Amino acid sequence: MAARGAKPKPAALRLVDGTRNVTRHGSEADIRQRAEKSVALFGKLAKPVYLKGQAAWAWKRFIEPAGWLDASREGIAIAFCELWEEFRFNPKGFPASKHGQMRAYMSELGLTDERNRGSADDGKSKDEFFD
């Protein structure tokens, strides 16, 4: 039987996007401690030396800025970068099934959520309704 609801989010990603509920996820200190423990267990995510060309570009563009990723996501990150290279090599011949797979990898890595991206103004501008 398949599990229902959203899949669990890594602790570091929960800190980045700010979607934590103290009663459900614990305090920010608890989440930070779990994220640090995960990095300690799995290690930092490092670019494999064999990634070249568009795959290396995708790693630098998408994976490196994602500070919430640790080595437990290495396989998914590599697969995404290699699929990106395949897409860039022949975008018109890239089947829809692979588009879906690439999007699934991006979602699994937390790359599709806009809340994970830094803002261009770094919070310097005022919101017309809340500031």
Q: Is the CB of residue 43 less than 8 Å from the CB of residue 71? A: yes
Question: What pLDDT does 96 receive?
Answer: 93
Alpha-carbon distances of 34 from 63, 68, 102, rounded to whole Å: 21, 12, 28
Q: Is the CB of residue 109 less than 8 Å from the CB of residue 80? A: yes
Question: Can you give the residue ranges of every domain in the chain?
Answer: 11-115
Residue spans of alpha helices (H) in 4-129: 11-17, 22-25, 28-42, 53-58, 74-89, 96-109
Q: Along the chain (131 residues), what's the average pLDDT of each consecutive run of 10 residues?
A: 66 62 68 73 85 94 87 91 95 93 90 65 53 50
Place of tokens 């290495």: 74
